[in-house]
Amino acid sequence: MCSLHFTFSIYLLTFALFLQTIFGDIPLYNICSSSENFTSNDQYESNLRKLLGNLNYQTPSLGFGLGSVGWYQYQTYGIALCRGDVAAADCKACVNDASNEIHKLCPYDKGAIIWYDNCLLKYSNKDFLGQIDNENWFFMSNVQNVSEPTIFNQKTRELLSQLAKDASFTTKKYAVGELELGKSTKLYGLAQCTWDLSTIECLQCLDDAIGQLPSCCEGKEGGRVIGGSCNIRYEIYLFVSA
């Protein structure tokens, strides 16, 4: 897959939520591989359809699915991951939407990745399972600035670093937590990896994500660093299900 760093700021959160209500879930971002393509109705397309069907079936019950279909030049590999707090029904809907949408956005690409708020879906003709995706990243940040950025940035890194450790040692590679910022303000955080990563790989991926915060989100009330193998998020409001 191609390497791309993309920064996306949420300027009109209310409007975005309105659009989601009207049109349903919309992708946060996607990347299509430009290196190799397949043709309509060839064996790779058939195998890809089987793979996506398998992921649609596997993922909802656990929150994660992976697999491969085919042999040699027609083999395709894929994963699907739902956010750790997402219910099975919502996970199923998200993975299904992702499968349909990525086919429209990257119709003949042998590799592609798409992110939603509730899930990600990734496939490729190259075996990436069990490896950190160091290429595909993008950022989202809140447009609002905090009043004391130095202290806030320190607290953010403190919370996310702890969550990175917590997530890497759990089976589901997922952790959420909160930190008191004052009498009436809390900082909420999330860290998550795809399940095919080892404990060490998950922690490395999350540490890399935290290291990218200065590029997008320092001094902002909220931010996200999202990749093909892991993601982190922090906000001053609760954004996950209790």
Q: What is the pLDDT of residue 24?
A: 52
- Provide the sign of the torsion angle of the four alpha carbons 192, 85, 80, 214, taken in this order: negative
Q: What is the pLDDT of residue 85?
A: 97
Q: Does an H or E element contain 123, and which? A: strand 119-124
**Distance in angstroms (rounded) separating the CA atoms of residues 125 and 111:** 6
Beta partners for 46?
none
Q: Does an H or E element contain 124, and which? A: strand 119-124
Q: What is the pLDDT of residue 128?
A: 97
Q: Which of 215, 13, 230, 65 is nearest to 132 (CA)?
A: 230
76-82/174-180 β-pairing: unpaired
Q: What is the pLDDT of residue 170?
A: 97
pLDDT in tens, the chain (242 residues): 433 333 333 333 334 444 443 345 899 999 998 788 999 889 999 999 999 999 999 999 999 999 999 999 999 999 999 999 999 999 999 999 999 999 999 999 999 999 999 999 999 999 999 999 999 999 999 999 999 999 999 999 999 999 999 999 999 999 999 999 987 889 999 999 999 999 999 999 999 999 999 999 999 999 999 999 999 999 999 999 86
**Distance in angstroms (rounded) separating the CA atoms of residues 119 and 161:** 22
Condensed to tens digits (0 to 9), the pLDDT of residues 101-148 reads 999 999 999 999 999 999 999 999 999 999 999 999 999 999 999 999
Q: What is the pLDDT of residue 172?
A: 96
